[in-house]
Structure 1
Amino acid sequence: TDWFKRTFSDPQIVFLTLVLVIGFAVILTMGDMLAPVLASAVIAYLLEGLVVVLEDRGIPRWLATTIVFLAFVLFLGLVLFGLMPLLSRQVTELVQQLPNMISVGQNALMALPERFPDVISPTQAEEILNGIRREIGSYGQQVLSVSVSSVVGVLTILVYLVLMPMLVFFFLKDKDIIMGWFGGFMPGERGLADMVWREVDRQIANYVRGKFWEIIIVWA
């Protein structure tokens, strides 16, 4: 059609379309395999804003990168060794209190026929209780199977915890080298793609800043 010829006769539009198609294809086909790389790239992109702020204040990039990366590792360590033990302790207390909670619920359920004989009979209460016991038993089997299969997941998380910070650091440190390498595969005339990227970058920056202040306000 005329619209198709008019639109795709511009090489910059063709280039932008190819970049989007290839990017989505890579994510859809190799997203699981490249998950740590993609996640590290996103984190490095978010941290790059802090590096730029420090650079604008006269701090060399290598030092700004080191400061931001150490702050990121400190935050990650705070989450892992500060919040995770607290969450684990809460879960442990819940598991310990679970038998008592079940016993209280059982006694309350068996007392219903005495208090409301016209609403529920002892037989109905017993049937409900047996159903709850069956559900708890099946749930316990599911938890056991998940706990066994989650060993691989735990090992994967440990690998990510080592691999991703290293990737984040090198993405920040070698940003210019990486961008130059990617730029070597791109045509010289890519003004439209650059304009779209700048707009996306601006919108993402506004979104991140908005979420940051939202978190600060909610926590306050």
Structure 2
Amino acid sequence: MLNIVRSWIDRYFSDEQAVVLSVLLVIGFAVILMWGDILAPVIASLIIAFILQGPVNMLTERSVPRVISVLLVFGAFLSMIFALFFAVLPKAYSQLESLLNDFPRILSVLRRHAEDLQTQLPGMFRGDEITIAYEQLSEGSAEIVQWVLSNSLASLPVVVTALIYLVVVPMLVFFMLKDRDVILSGVSKALPKNRRLITQVSSEMNQQFANYLRGKAVEILVVGICTYAGFFAFGLNYAALLSILVGLSVVIPYIGAVVVTIPVVIIALFQFGLTNEFYYVLGIYMLIQALDGNVLVPLLFSEVVNLHPILIIVAVLFFGGVWGFWGVFFAIPLATLIKAVITAWPRVDRHALAIENR
């Protein structure tokens, strides 16, 4: 047994750079796991700066001075932040309050449709199943409403956290963009001089992370805006709230689209019933989902390393369970990182190693 373990270590960890890379990865994951909540503003700022670096590079390539490029991109970013906090979120929050007030009526409508379905298909349900399900949903919805109200935007901790992000994150983003070269130089000095393997993995992942983050940001905006325009055109209630949910659902591949379809169908059914408007809303929603999956995603993520859907779902479940929302958001890049490390990891040929040990 010891010989097997020693042979495995000699094969995969005989290279000094492999040991250094593994230590850095372990330290990085441990820091995020233990102090992720404290460092959340820094991590968020780093992500945003990474996304904004693309537009800055585009402007500098067109002979715009870097300082001016940073100021222009940062100004556009601030405008979006203020629009989000003072226009989009208040409207979505007011619609959430309205939705919570309408929740008992929504359950009653769903119960009526279920009873009609039972009349049409008597063999599908037993007589008391709908009543029991309605009572369970009513009890569960009361708990959900109470939880949402106790953790609403009006509560003090949420307000304080929002203010911290609103002030600290833009400042960190600005300095990360402005002093990018200085920061990278300092990080480079802290790393070992012989870092061929680290450079190989980081150069591959830099492009992958950039494509994924910027593409995902664009996808969220495009899907959210198109969904709001479609729902608003048909007069669907809670259009802003639902469009935010649909936009954020693209963060979770496959699973997000399925989950967010449920509230869209329920609210459309509650408002329109089984009328033409109900099918129109579902049709425009399905059209947006189809265009996102078959046009927008291939266009934005053509250069991202392809992963099997099973690996993506496993990565979402694993990293989401470890780091919550950010784990879900970074599931694909982290899975790609692991794949890049495995691909680039130096291996010693067993036959050559056996000859050397003789």
Matched, 1:49 2:51: no
Q: Deviations over 1:131-154 (max 9, x none)?
A: 887666655654554459942122
**CA distance in structure 2 between the partners assigned to 1:129 and 1:207 by the alignment:** 42
Q: Distance in 1 between matches of 2:70 and 2:203?
A: 22
Normalised by the size of structure 2, how large is the TM-score?
Answer: 0.49
Moved more, 86-95 or 156-165: 86-95
How far residue 3 of structure 1 moved from its aligned partner, in angstroms, is: 4.1
Alpha-carbon distance in structure 1 between the residues aligned to 2:143 and 2:15: 61
Counterparts in 2 of 1:102 and 1:198: CA distance versus 1, 3 Å: closer
2:200 corresponds to which residue? 195
Matched, 1:163 2:168: yes
The structure with the largest helix share of the pair is: 1
Q: Does 1:186 align with 2:191?
A: yes
Aligned length: 211
1:59 aligns with 2:72: no
Q: Which residue of 2 aligns with 1:172?
A: 177
In structure 2, relative to structure 1, the CA distance for the partners of 1:32 and 1:158 (3 Å cut) is same
The one of 28, 34, 40 aligned to 2:39: 34
User: Which consecutive residues of structure 1, in runs of 5 or more, have no partner in the other structure?
Assistant: 113-118
| Residue among 89, 93, 97 paired with 2:98 | 93
Distance in 1 (CA, whole Å) between partners of 2:148 and 2:218 is 38
Q: How far 1:95 moved relative to its partner?
A: 4.9
RMSD: 3.8
Which 10-residue stretch deviates more, 133-142 or 61-70? 133-142
CA distance in 1, matches of 2:40, 2:183: 18
Encode CA deviations 1:26-63: one digit per residue, 9 max, x unaligned: 11111111111111111111111221111111122211
Between 141-150 and 13-22, report the one with greater CA deviation.
141-150
TM-score where L is the length of structure 1? 0.75
Which structure exhibits the higher relative contact order, with contacts defined as CA atoms closer than 8 Å and separated by 6 or more residues? Answer: 1
Unaligned runs of 5+ residues in structure 2 are 1-5, 117-125, 227-287, 289-358
Distance in 2 (CA, whole Å) between partners of 1:171 and 1:132 is 48
Whichever residue aligns with residue 202 of structure 1, its letter is Q
Pick aligned residue for 2:209 from 204, 208, 214:
204
- For 1:206 and 1:130, the matched residues in 2 are separated by 47
* Whole-Å separation in 1 of the counterparts to 2:169 and 2:75: 14
Bigger Cα Rg: 1
